[in-house]
């Protein structure tokens, strides 16, 4: 699919984002879209640390408006659609966003210490971070009382008011596909290094702003005494990072963090968590600056899965906006084992129904405000695989347990697919170019679909 593909989405904003004085106090209101009722609130309260929270929200907005790959290129029609997703889960508020190039994902979690108020419901919405909004956030003082209200129809920072505004935007497809992929990557990450935030500041001071933006620039972060340094060599406790210059975006907010946790993920994906007592900021980077999460294809196998629909239905019925999902307790409640629950949660992640919290090592429930029925339509490899099955283009040479030897008709050739306990391989050109790094090819998917159908028959 072309990188410029978009989905037409109609947003209704209850008022324009603005800054004004109410009762002799500066108040800021963020306009959002979503919901059927007028201002149904999930949370009503205030920020306990206004300046710190405002800076973190500004960082979310900055990530959503940054194009790390070819950063000199500006695409206003894409930037205009960069609206973070906000989840009110009854315990904390989460703000999620992708960079314009979809190669970086961020999430800000405001924990109970960050906000004080009443939880009246749970849900997800979108926030409009327009220029006046960003200017207002930049002017917030720690001495101010800044109200924060989150609802299906709006996210209010009580500093303004206005009229209802209808706004139509184009939502980048890469966001929808990126959300599907990034949860799977995070679920396979492991905490590797933990250092004081000041140590990351020292490291970033040595990295030029645009160093290593482009393809092929890979380094490793390794422990160095009480701190960390960049290295060109992999070690037992190193974390691979593609395009280290992308971390410079964190520089200005590191003064708010106490600790930085660094996570190592599969295929060179890295995770960076800025930890303070009342909030945490997660920053997930793709293996290279030119690789967006939207094109990785790691979720394709889960999207193709159809043998666990009964477990998925039972599991979905148990989701109640939990900030932390207990797999063992959930398994007991639906009569399933922990491994089956984890597998099903991975599938639900591809449907936008759960996210993954690195700091907790657990999934959390949230429902993305997108039409998730479109997810499979946006996966050309999966569509091609289903067509191969329909056309009976697959020949199974042998099957012993999990081991499968099959042949799949391609364009002008027949490709061999070997499936073993260690994984699947194919002789097609696509697999030769991306051997297991960007999800399965259409031929491996087709064999998987066919064998699953045969087992379920």
Q: Is the separation of the CB atoms in 78 and 172 below 8 Å?
A: yes
Q: Which residue has the tokens 């629950």?
A: 341
Q: Quick one: tokens of 51?
A: 């300046």
What's the half-sphere exposure (Cβ side, CA atoms, 13 Å) at 94? 26
The answer to whether 296 touches 438, Cβ cutoff 8 Å, is yes
C-alpha 24: how far from chain center: 39
pLDDT of residue 60: 92
pLDDT at residue 279, as a whole number:
95
How is residue 201 written in tokens? 């500041």
The secondary structure of residue 67, as a DSSP letter, is -
In this prediction, residue 370 carries a pLDDT of: 65
Residues of the chain where predicted confidence (pLDDT) is lower than 70: 1-40, 70-83, 127-128, 153-154, 159-174, 209-217, 294-309, 369-378, 453-457
DSSP 91-149: S-EEEEEE-TTSSEEEEEEE-TTTEEEEE---EEEEE---HHHHHHHHT--TTS--EEE
Tell me how far apart the alpha carbons of residues 14 and 126 are, in angstroms, rounded to a whole number.
12
Separation in Å, CA 448 to CA 234, 251, 379, 386, 416: 34, 45, 16, 10, 13
Sign of the alpha-carbon torsion through 122, 274, 45, 139? negative
Residue count of the chain, please give it. Answer: 457
> Residue ranges of the domains in the chain?
6-172, 379-456
Q: How far apart are CA 404 and CA 402, in angstroms?
A: 6
Per-residue b or e along 119-157, where b marks 16 or more CB atoms closer than 10 Å to that residue's CB:
beebbbbbbbbbeebbebbeebeeebebbbbbbbbbbbb
Instruction: Tell me which residue of 352, 345, 357 sits closest to 369, measured CA to CA.
Output: 352
CATH 3.10.150.10 assigned to domain 6-172? The reply is yes
| Residue whose structure tokens are 């993305």 | 368
103 Cβ contact partners less than 8 Å away, ≥ 6 residues apart: 68, 69, 246, 285, 286, 288, 289, 290, 291, 292, 293
For 154-192, the DSSP string reads: EEEEEB-----EEEEEEEEHHHHHHHHHHHHHHHT-EEE
Cβ 365 vs Cβ 349: under 8 Å: no
* H helices present in 205-337, as ranges: 300-304, 309-318, 327-334
Taking the CB of residue 295, how many other CB atoms lie within 10 A of it?
18
Which pLDDT score is estimated for 83?
66
Residue 379: C-alpha distances to residues 99, 296, 429 (Å): 21, 11, 19
Strand partners, 230: 221
Query: Which tens digits make up the pLDDT trace of 56-73?
Result: 999 998 998 888 876 444
DSSP 360-412: TTEEEE---SS-GGGTGGG-HHHHHHHHHHHTT-EEEEEEETTEEEEEEE-SS
Would you state the structure tokens that stand for residue 312, as one six-digit string? 């998925």
CB 63, CB 248: distance < 8 Å:
no
Cα separation, 324 vs 187, in Å, equals 13
DSSP run (H or E) holding 43: strand 41-47
């Amino acid at each position: 699919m072309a990188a410029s593909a978009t989905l037409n989405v109609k947003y209704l904003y209850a008022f324009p984002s603005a800054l004004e004085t109410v009762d002799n106090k500066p108040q800021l209101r963020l306009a959002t879209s979503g919901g059927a009722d007028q201002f149904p609130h999930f949370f009503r309260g205030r920020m306990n640390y206004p300046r710190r929270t405002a800076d973190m929200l500004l960082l979310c907005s900055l990530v959503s408006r940054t194009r790390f790959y070819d950063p000199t290129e500006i695409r206003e029609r894409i930037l205009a659609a960069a609206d973070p997703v906000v989840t009110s889960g009854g315990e904390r508020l989460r703000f999620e966003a992708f960079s314009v190039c979809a190669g970086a994902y961020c999430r800000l979690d405001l924990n109970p210490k960050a906000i004080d108020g009443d939880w009246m419901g749970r849900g997800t919405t979108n926030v409009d971070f327009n220029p006046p909004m960003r200017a207002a956030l930049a002017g917030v003082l720690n001495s101010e009382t800044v109200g924060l209200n989150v609802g299906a129809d709006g996210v209010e920072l009580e500093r303004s008011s206005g009229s209802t505004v209808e706004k139509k935007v184009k939502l980048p497809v890469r966001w929808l596909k990126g959300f599907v992929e990034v949860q799977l990557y995070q679920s396979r990450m492991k905490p590797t290094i933990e250092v004081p935030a000041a140590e990351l500041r020292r490291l970033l001071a040595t990295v030029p702003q645009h160093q290593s933006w482009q393809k092929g620039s890979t380094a490793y972060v390794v422990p160095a005494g009480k701190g960390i340094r960049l290295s060109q060599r992999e070690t037992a406790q190193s974390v691979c990072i593609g395009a280290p210059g992308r971390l410079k975006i964190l520089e200005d907010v590191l003064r708010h963090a106490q600790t930085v946790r660094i996570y190592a993920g599969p295929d060179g994906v890295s995770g960076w968590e800025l930890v303070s007592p009342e909030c945490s900021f997660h920053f997930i980077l793709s293996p290279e600056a030119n690789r967006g999460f939207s094109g990785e294809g790691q979720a394709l196998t889960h999207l193709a899965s159809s043998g666990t629909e009964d477990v998925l239905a039972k599991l979905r019925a148990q989701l109640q906006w939990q900030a932390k999902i207990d797999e063992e307790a959930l398994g007991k409640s639906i009569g399933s084992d922990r491994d089956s629950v984890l597998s099903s949660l991975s599938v639900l992640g591809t449907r936008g129904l759960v996210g993954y919290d690195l700091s907790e090592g657990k999934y959390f429930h949230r429902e993305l405000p997108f039409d998730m029925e479109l997810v499979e339509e946006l996966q050309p490899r999966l569509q091609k695989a289903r067509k191969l099955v329909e056309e009976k283009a697959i020949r199974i040479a042998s099957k012993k347990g999990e081991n499968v030897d099959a042949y799949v008709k391609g364009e002008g050739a027949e490709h061999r697919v070997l499936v073993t306990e260690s994984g699947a391989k194919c002789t097609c050109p696509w697999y030769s170019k991306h051997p297991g790094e960007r999800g399965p090819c259409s031929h491996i998917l087709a064999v998987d679909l066919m064998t699953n159908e045969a087992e379920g028959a």
